Structure 1
């Protein structure tokens, strides 16, 4: 691991490393193939699916930031998931959290049930008996997501890694929500770290990519072979943009967190904001663990709208600064409804088990002027309050109303949403 601080590693990612002309900013190698030095004399680079200089610079930066031995840069976050699963055989068991990202959940359950690619055990890491459940499963790989998506629940990475050692199991941590600026799972004992580079690492919502950072060099070489074999490696252009994005990672994260703290303070005073899910709150169940294993609390916030689900449309329609969209981690503020968007691939029972209620809203707080963000939320809540008054003032749920007590949106509306061909990929 580099002895330089993270801010320096990120800011100088790829800088002054051009061997040809000494360019300070690294060139982008868009070539698909490379000339061999001579017959039967392959060079370091022969075909860009296998190796590419631009992608290698990004991988080196990620290795330094996460403290790994090798980084595999993939074309999507989901392909990074697929790559990590190559450590498993049909006889092996994968343990996943009950509240993981909907796309990951879809991948795991379908590979296990339809393809018999591995055995799958789903564990609630927030329960007191999580260690007993994992031990009984005898897993080959334990998959963690902390903070979780979308409820921002915290898992004690070091405790899971200590248990994994006794079971001779590998531990993977999805670090997408925090980035290496705020959490370093390998330093906590993890074997693999996964990122959707689409999010905070790139930071500008203009690429789709993933990465898998591996602690052990031999395992890294094995997964590199699989990355080439499966054809999941990232292209030069996306790698170049992600490398550029990483250079501003630390100042971006600082601005994200400052804005998020102000948004949380505002939501705590807003009667129409029900339960707030944010590890920075002292009453959050995982606050102490998050404070111990993270370098900050991040900029992802979820909360329950304390009103009937029929008012969700009013709330979203009124927003101007927060954009209703998939994804997170860009410089712009985004908002989503996990139940019908990011986690729509989970059926109703799985969503209920994960604690995803019908009025749950997830915010990805950007780096705009916070006064504009707070004003945007204020006028959206005001629109909901006005709609409730127009309906006779009896449609609002109480501030402490649990998600299970809120009436779901009309079935036909959700079916209409799911039948939208533009959104078909999410379930």
Structure 2
């Protein structure tokens, strides 16, 4: 049955604060405790307590899983050691020699798991298509197709997928769907309401929100999938530790206010960049000029807190830009309260070949911005100064 904080449904911001609080070890504690015990005692041979061994279940982890599942409107969740481990956990659901249809431009870490490891260890095969071309999706499906892997928005170019349309097609053929919802967080997009079976996140990003934890999470839309995920998690043992679960749960408390500020800031930054002479192209679905703006309005709460841009100039110009920044930090991650900049070619997608990057549309002059909660006027001033520096000869 579903995991909710009460019989009465609550609005999103209220759920971020109170979902999962019933798992506090001390009845009068306002926040669930960090339970570091690896084992839990039994009163007798016949005693079957809720928790026995932390790999199987832990109160801190359970509180966090309950909260994130409530936010995603799923029945439950499994917290994993990292985002890529969450991906690997989902793939463990598939039989040997399964086939997966994958969104073009999928995250490099997902691509690496699929192509470098699962293909070798389990005979998994893949077909990469534009999931918005439903005829191409249908043509890609084989008798052994078990899963359609969705990423929307994609990293880093923020392409969107019509989630409901893909899920309708998959359900008609008895195929599972999983979406990487990291870039949106549950605040901005709730794919289960659109028909998705499994939702995964790198919790290191917006769920945690403070660049201080490593974790992943998978949310299931039904009890049968949840039971299978829990068995896999117990068997492979790559669970999230209690302290990181505590940090993630604490991060969720401010998800609503953080995302509202970050997404609002991102729109202001994107509008500024769109008119800047040094910018070749801006990618942000919240802009009216974005080709998928209407789809964004239909399935997302906002355009998100990530902006991508192609800057005029060569690598030396990019270096001048990065070195001139005073607020944005050059980093591999995203989703924290601080604003970050990432060079996708040499950082987030460095493991891909130049040819693979080219197919994905990732060029050397592409930069990804993760917008934080600073005052957007300071962010714009910082970017403007850096862009001017990049143009200087």
Residue 374 of structure 1 and its aligned partner are, at CA, apart by: 1.1
The answer on 1:98 being equivalent to 2:89 is no
Q: 1:319 aligns with which of 317, 322, 325?
A: 325
Contact 1:121 1:137 (8 Å CA) reproduced: no
Please list, as runs of the form range in 1=range in 2, the aligned pairs for 1:141-220 lying within 5 A after superposition: 141-220=147-226
Deviation of 1:285 after TM superposition, in Å, equals 2.0
Residue 363 of structure 2 corresponds to which residue in structure 1? 357
Q: For the residues of structure 1 that align with 2:326 and 2:107, how far apart are their CA atoms?
A: 26
Q: Measure, in 2, the Cα distance between the counterparts of 1:234 and 1:170.
A: 25
SS in structure 2 of the partner of residue 302 of structure 1: strand
Q: Does the 8 Å contact 2:153/2:160 carry over to 1? A: yes
Shift of 1:198: 0.4
Quote the Cα distance in structure 2 between the aligned partners of 1:127 and 1:222.
31
1:70-89 equivalences under 5 Å are 70-89=76-95
2:344 matched residue in structure 1: 338
Aligned to 1:277: 283
Aligned to 2:253: 247
Structure 2 Cα separation of the partners of residues 255 and 34 of structure 1: 42
TM-superposed CA distance for 1:78, in Å, is 0.7
CA distance in structure 2 between the aligned counterparts of 1:112 and 1:224, rounded to whole angstroms: 20
Find out whether 1:234 has 2:240 as its counterpart.
yes
Partner SS for 1:81? helix
Gaps of 5+ in 1: 388-427
**CA distance, structure 1, for counterparts of residue 98 and residue 28 of structure 2:** 48
Q: Work out the CA distance in 1 between the residues paired with 2:118 and 2:59.
A: 36
Q: Distance in 2 between matches of 1:125 and 1:202?
A: 29
**Is 1:377 the counterpart of 2:383 in the alignment?**
yes
1:70 shift after superposition: 1.7
Secondary structure, aligned partner of 2:286: coil
TM-score of the aligned structures, taking structure 1 as reference length:
0.88
Using the TM superposition, give the Cα deviation of residue 288 of structure 1 relative to its aligned residue in structure 2, in angstroms.
1.1
The question of whether the paired residues in 2 share the 8 Å contact of 1:16 and 1:23 is answered with no
Cα distance, 1:128 vs structure 2:
6.4
Deviates more, 1:10-19 or 1:268-277: 10-19
1:129 Cα offset (Å):
3.7
Within 5 Å, give how 1:286-305 maps onto structure 2.
286-305=292-311
1:88 & 1:54 partners in 2: Cα distance?
Answer: 29
Preserved CA contact (<8 Å) 1:145 1:175: yes
Please give the TM-score of this superposition, normalised by the length of structure 2: 0.95
Q: Is the 8 A contact 1:138 1:167 kept in 2?
A: no
In the TM superposition, what whole-angstrom CA distance separates every residue of 1:263-301 from its partner, at most 9, and x where no partner exists?
A: 011101211111111101222222111110111111100
1:101-140 matches, within 5 Å, as: 101-127=107-133, 129-136=135-142, 139-140=145-146
Is the 8 Å Cα contact of residues 201 and 242 (structure 1) preserved in structure 2? yes
Q: Is the 8 A contact 1:314 1:384 kept in 2?
A: yes
SS at match of 2:355: helix
The separation in 2 between residues aligned to 1:79 and 1:132, in whole angstroms, is 29
| Structure 1 contact 89–117 (Cα < 8 Å) conserved | no
CA deviations 1:366-394 (Å, max 9, x no partner) are: 0011121111111111111213xxxxxxx
Aligned residues: 387
Residue segments in structure 2 that go unaligned for 5+ positions in a row = none
2:233 is paired with a residue whose SS is helix
Larger Rg: 1
Deviation for aligned residue 1:112: 4.0
Structure-2 separation of matches of 1:295 and 1:266: 21
Q: Which residue pairs with 1:391 in the alignment?
A: none
**Alignment correspondent of 2:69:** 63
